[in-house]
Structure 1
């Protein structure tokens, strides 16, 4: 049985991303601070931001970039990234944002698949950017080095060249419902990374869907550690925060001391994080050295947040902890708790073990992956687990040039099959169990790695952990835990195994343990299980 969002539908204007964010800006908001670069303490007002986006769009148009073109953007977070990103969209082109950790080989794949005609980057990433650009045939004049100065950047236009060209922003026409705004790359529910086609309407819709739930206001100062090149940072920070006329406090990379110092210095009120940061906020002694009292809300996403961990953060910092869920193919937010956890709307807060309710204008199904039968919402308690399907205006049109993968992900009724196992309760709240393809199958039983990881993180001597399935000597898949021990603590494999065994069903027990210095994770905070599997070969 399908179930709709309990929140009222929101109006989704049929406009471009630029028009949605800045078309109706109030004159009183123009001199508000939009962006703050922590490095250098550079502040950009909304008036300056809009002017630079228009100038950048004009310069791109003068260089032949427009509707139908794709521009690669390879850079860490900064105010200049924000300008470049929105200038690409304002010019009518499509931005393919590239992971700042990519090698030249990775960049080549994305530039080739997306058919990018220009690459925008920064000096620290120039060696791999140039290697990739030359391999795909991009001339130096089509490699923009935003902070370009000196010999290394000779022959490449820079931000000043774009912003000071004096070319007017172009008049562009396109249908926001079909015109691609961005092409992030995601492994999605199948195979190798694929270009996720997201239209202007997809991005505009998702901001409209999450704004009434997040409760961001113009006086909020929001820490931006999530990478803008990832869809989570792109939508909930770069777009939603600007739509709210809030101020983004931008960090180019995550460093715990700088993160805490920036919260204290700028009076940050709202944080968006991934679970690894929550681990630090709950357990790291450095937290106590900073005044974090300005924070009123933290939202976690990108990976499941254990409720005990989330509640520990909320108690330690005296704030509201909420959680959301999504994926690149959903622009990305499909589920979210309201800023108060749901208290005002439903009379009780959603448990942090859930990811909240479906966002407005969306419909869900939970489907048994074996039989294909829809699972009903229970009268009480939790439903049986099944694959989560999502329908709404934030669902991508498909994967670039990959009809087979698109057809296997989005059905004829427009439901996107997420590949995630979930349950739903009587109140319509959704609980993510684990990735369908990451479930460990032990003697016919399904063991969710996330459940074991959440349990292990409650151990006072464990700083971080990840669980994968490996084969034992008899070829049986078993749960193996990788464990990072708290600094100064001592822990044995037997202690870890016994700790878990005392709290789970016998088939869920951890049966192997390997101690490791750090859990490999993506820039968005997702555990890189393929790297752990490589260690176990």
Structure 2
């Protein structure tokens, strides 16, 4: 029988995200500061966000006759304007599709075309790629919106402030577009790469997001508060996790405004800025990933900062070892708990209770409210409690399917609503989940998904490569997997260090930063394959484990 959550189910209102966040009573003041940019600096209060989202939504309707289900794509690093744009798009009835700002032009164009984006939001530093991708995808240049620094005055590209001002001055007659069916109507299209190398659009409805916010709240209890903290201004969270990733989007952006917490927004991760922001703003909570914890455990520069305001860190996106948790705790005296989730589950399904973080170190936590889970054998049989199998999860947070990909949707979702996660694990008698492996072949580099088939396809386009296979190898010094390639060179080509550098640089120019071959290259005579032609990655992973890895290649 499937295991139900030990948490009492919470009531999930069948409303859209904007209604949930801005039309329901809040238990914190309207002028409570929610988002702060520590560089400018500037901030948005709760009421600021509510007003600005309506202005942006009206501006979209006025500028481009924005309709229900029109898609706006975000191609930008973190910014405190992202919440305004996100919920302003929802106000106008649209769908938001975040994209990695490190994407190449072609990678961005693929997402633009697949999601059918009507407009793009970017920053000036990323405008060249955005323009080129828009042209490929058939999007007019005047449908590009800038945040941050403005473009030259002669450009047809508008700034976000222009859209908001248009909404205020001309949009008084525009009404909010309210989704008729929040359980089915989409709020987000986030992209998750598959093992085939083709990115898949994960369709997340309004109720998917609303339910996950409430499930997280029930799991965290009273531990997140807009009162208290070091200066009685409530908890402050450090927001360096990318907002284009479902982890940052839900756990940071949405959780902050729902709970009345102040989110200090970092454009990107930097260790010194991470520490200085904690010290200056007296950060109380930090959502992190294992490579950050590795730095906190070992980097000597940490000792220059006062991090005593931190009362908890929560790690996700990749497995966390007991040794690393203990190393950080011994150095900083800060508890570290762990969670588990996927893009397809909006994302969080499990979280460690704060008071058991050390008792069950290594666990990804217990199942959050309103869900059930079962563990399945390779043959599709449900396994008894405690046995190791693939996780199948059901709940109101489970996605609607993959955009334009019926086959992938049918392979991922069962007829009775369970999502086949592709991850393998078990739970102990207390309900603590332990992830042990992955059915999927995806490589996880610092929480980012790297599809090996995509890299193999690109490598095979190199004139001197006969065959190639890519696997993930774990690098303890970085606390993450890295992509490593096994390559068969064409006859007459010499597999030496110079050739390795040349191929790695060639590939780096064609993929996003997180997809680079940081594990290096090994030359082989033949890629091991099954009789059906499938690459035997397991054989290569075993081979990689026996071989001493070279120094990290960035």
Q: TM-score over 0.5 for the alignment?
A: yes
Following superposition of structure 1 onto structure 2, how do residues 179-218 of structure 1 map, counting pairs within 5 Å? 179-188=185-194, 191-214=197-220, 215-218=223-226
> 1:387 maps to which residue?
390
> 2:380 maps to which residue?
372
> 2:236 maps to which residue?
221
Instruction: Report if the CA contact (8 A) 1:114-1:195 is conserved.
Output: yes
2:356 equivalent to 1:341: yes
Instruction: Report if the CA contact (8 A) 2:208-2:399 is conserved.
Output: yes
> 1:78 maps to which residue?
79
In structure 1, C-alpha distance between the alignment counterparts of 2:318 and 2:374, rounded to whole Å? 20
Instruction: Report if the CA contact (8 A) 2:291-2:478 is conserved.
Output: no
> 1:19 maps to which residue?
19
> 1:106 maps to which residue?
107
Residues 1:463 and 1:117: Cα distance change in structure 2 (over 3 Å):
closer
Residues 1:107 and 1:468: Cα distance change in structure 2 (over 3 Å):
closer
User: Would you say how many aligned residue pairs link Structure 1 and Structure 2?
Assistant: 463
Following superposition of structure 1 onto structure 2, how do residues 26-175 of structure 1 map, counting pairs within 5 Å? 26=26, 29-62=29-62, 63-151=64-152, 154-165=155-166, 166=168, 167-168=171-172, 170-174=175-179, 175=181
Gaps (5+ residues) in structure 1? 343-348, 378-382, 441-448, 474-480, 485-506, 521-537
In structure 2, C-alpha distance between the alignment counterparts of 1:350 and 1:402, rounded to whole Å? 42
Instruction: Report if the CA contact (8 A) 2:485-2:519 is conserved.
Output: no
Instruction: Report if the CA contact (8 A) 1:61-1:170 is conserved.
Output: no
Per-residue deviation at 1:27? 8.1
SS in 2 for 1:364: strand
Superimposed CA distance per residue, residues 100-142 of structure 1 (whole angstroms, 9 cap, x where no aligned partner): 1111111110010001111111111100001111222222221
In structure 2, C-alpha distance between the alignment counterparts of 1:464 and 1:302, rounded to whole Å? 12
SS in 1 for 2:354: coil
SS in 1 for 2:44: strand
Instruction: Report if the CA contact (8 A) 1:420-1:432 is conserved.
Output: yes
Per-residue deviation at 1:188? 4.9
* TM-score normalized by the length of structure 1: 0.81
Superimposed CA distance per residue, residues 391-448 of structure 1 (whole angstroms, 9 cap, x where no aligned partner): 00000010001110000001111110011111111111110112223499xxxxxxxx
2:355 equivalent to 1:352: no
Instruction: Report if the CA contact (8 A) 2:365-2:433 is conserved.
Output: yes
Instruction: Report if the CA contact (8 A) 1:483-1:515 is conserved.
Output: yes
Instruction: Report if the CA contact (8 A) 1:283-1:463 is conserved.
Output: no
Instruction: Report if the CA contact (8 A) 1:190-1:405 is conserved.
Output: no
Instruction: Report if the CA contact (8 A) 2:203-2:399 is conserved.
Output: yes
In structure 2, C-alpha distance between the alignment counterparts of 1:465 and 1:322, rounded to whole Å? 18
Per-residue deviation at 1:212? 2.2
Superimposed CA distance per residue, residues 55-107 of structure 1 (whole angstroms, 9 cap, x where no aligned partner): 11110121211312111111111111121111111211001111111111111
Residues 1:122 and 1:366: Cα distance change in structure 2 (over 3 Å):
same
Residues 1:423 and 1:467: Cα distance change in structure 2 (over 3 Å):
farther
SS in 2 for 1:259: helix
SS in 2 for 1:233: helix
In structure 2, C-alpha distance between the alignment counterparts of 1:183 and 1:463, rounded to whole Å? 30
SS in 1 for 2:81: helix
Deviates more, 1:393-402 or 1:131-140: 131-140
In structure 1, C-alpha distance between the alignment counterparts of 2:484 and 2:137, rounded to whole Å? 38
Instruction: Report if the CA contact (8 A) 1:196-1:396 is conserved.
Output: yes
SS in 2 for 1:211: helix
RMSD, aligned CA: 2.5
In structure 1, C-alpha distance between the alignment counterparts of 2:337 and 2:422, rounded to whole Å? 23
> 1:260 maps to which residue?
275
Residues 1:427 and 1:468: Cα distance change in structure 2 (over 3 Å):
farther
Following superposition of structure 1 onto structure 2, how do residues 486-525 of structure 1 map, counting pairs within 5 Å? 510-518=545-553
Instruction: Report if the CA contact (8 A) 1:273-1:299 is conserved.
Output: yes
SS in 1 for 2:375: strand
Instruction: Report if the CA contact (8 A) 1:482-1:514 is conserved.
Output: no
* TM-score normalized by the length of structure 2: 0.79
Residues 1:26 and 1:409: Cα distance change in structure 2 (over 3 Å):
closer
Instruction: Report if the CA contact (8 A) 1:188-1:328 is conserved.
Output: no
- 1:303 alignment partner, one of 318, 321, 326: 318
In structure 1, C-alpha distance between the alignment counterparts of 2:84 and 2:49, rounded to whole Å? 7
Superimposed CA distance per residue, residues 205-264 of structure 1 (whole angstroms, 9 cap, x where no aligned partner): 000111122332111100001111111111111101210000000001111101110111
Residues 1:439 and 1:511: Cα distance change in structure 2 (over 3 Å):
farther
In structure 1, C-alpha distance between the alignment counterparts of 2:151 and 2:484, rounded to whole Å? 50
Instruction: Report if the CA contact (8 A) 1:68-1:92 is conserved.
Output: yes
